Amino acid sequence: MLFLGLTGSIATGKSTVSSILASAPYNLPVIDADKIARQVVEPGTYGYRQILTNFAASTPDLLVPPTSENGGENGLQGRGRALNRPALGRRVFGEGGEADRKTLNGIVHPAVRREMYKQMLWAYLRGHWAVILDVPLLFESGWEPLCGTILVVAVKDPAVQMKRLRARDEHLTQEDAENRVKAQWDVRDKADRCLSRGKGKGTVVWNDGGKEDLRRQVDQVMLEAKASSPQWWAYLLLLLPPIAALSGAVNYLQGWWMKKEWERRKTQEKAKL
Ligand SMILES: CC(C)(COP(=O)(O)OP(=O)(O)OC[C@H]1O[C@@H](n2cnc3c(N)ncnc32)[C@H](O)[C@@H]1O)[C@@H](O)C(=O)NCCC(=O)NCCS
Ligand SMILES: Nc1ncnc2c1ncn2[C@@H]1O[C@H](COP(=O)(O)OP(=O)(O)OP(=O)(O)O)[C@@H](O)[C@H]1O
């Protein structure tokens, strides 16, 4: 089974690609890190309580205002009011800076990781030929070695990214939007890093054009991916778990090596400057 990592930067088109892959003719399972990141901080969860402990005192608007629809002061079923995500976003991408973002990541990422492993196991047990790992911070948070292949959805023109982000998330000011873009690696660097993995291991789709153009590129990528990881291979791995474990380990080592090689090259380039 192929773990296909899907990444990019904010608003470059990951969700658009994942919805293509989740629907016919692909019908692939998508493990969506953003979606899981929301679930693990719902009222009543450990993540929610940790966020309150760390941010409530210094963020007066951390929770949504109470209304009769959202259960009032104590939220639905008394579990507490939901997080006010735009306010927390302003805090960790804006005034609170990197330190606050690290604190939030430290709360959310381990829980996301655990849930993703569960979903990956479930996808393996269902015999899918591939599963999509839709992870915005795939390179930044060390998911790269797990992926058999990586697809970066990128744009060449930063103005296109900004325009789409502002159009989709109307509540963001220009400054908020810029802060969110800056909180991740530049998407063109992610594209370079992905391509450095070599043919069959890393591909980039450029999404400056229309959605039809994006779809055509995705179809081409999937044609190649399917040829290198056929359905019979997924069934074989399901029948022979030791082979699955061995293949996973080899794949992980290859990914780890590619990551190290990239880091070594970057260090060398920096030293030359
Ligand atoms: C700060 C929060 C509450 C803002 O919520 P909001 O609903 O406004 O944004 P949403 O979660 O839909 O994220 C939108 C995009 O922002 C980017 N983003 C989110 N978190 C981060 C982060 N910690 N660092 C850099 N970029 C991020 C991603 O590209 C993501 O697709 C939320 O983003 C969050 O909890 N982030 C921490 C968890 C995380 O890292 N999620 C990313 C996947 S693991
Ligand atoms: N080729 C395109 N042409 C026009 N609009 C597009 C194109 N691709 C994506 N969009 C739009 O741009 C916005 C951002 O796309 P999308 O939500 O897929 O990005 P994303 O990378 O998943 O963002 P995030 O990191 O925030 O989850 C959406 O409103 C989407 O409909």
ipTM: 0.94
Query: Nearest residue CA, atom 29 of ligand 2?
Result: 168
Predicted TM-score of the model (pTM): 0.92
- pLDDT recorded at residue 160: 97
How remote is the CA of residue 183 from the centroid of ligand 1, in Å? 10
For ligand 2, whether the C-beta of 212 sits within 6 Å is no
How far apart CA 63 and CA 248 sit, in angstroms, is 42
Q: What is the CB neighbour count within 10 angstroms for residue 131?
A: 22
Query: Nearest residue CA, atom 16 of ligand 2?
Result: 13
Ligand 2 pocket test, candidate residues 7, 16, 17, most atoms within 8 A of CB: 16
How remote is the CA of residue 151 from the centroid of ligand 2, in Å? 15
Residue 77, pLDDT above cutoff 90: no
Closest residue by Cα to residue 136 from 46, 23, 35: 35
CA angle 155, 173, 101 (to 5 degrees): 75
Average pLDDT of the chain is: 94
For ligand 2, whether the C-beta of 89 sits within 6 Å is no
Condensed to tens digits (0 to 9), the pLDDT of residues 132-175 reads 999 999 999 889 999 999 999 999 999 999 999 999 999 999 99
Kind and range of the H or E run holding 180: helix 174-182
Closest residue by Cα to residue 4 from 14, 13, 12, 237: 14
Condensed to tens digits (0 to 9), the pLDDT of residues 18-47 reads 999 999 999 999 999 999 999 999 999 999
- pLDDT recorded at residue 50: 97
**DSSP structure string for 239-259:** H-HHHHHHHHHHHHHHHHHHH
3-state secondary structure of 131: strand
Residue 95, pLDDT above cutoff 80: no
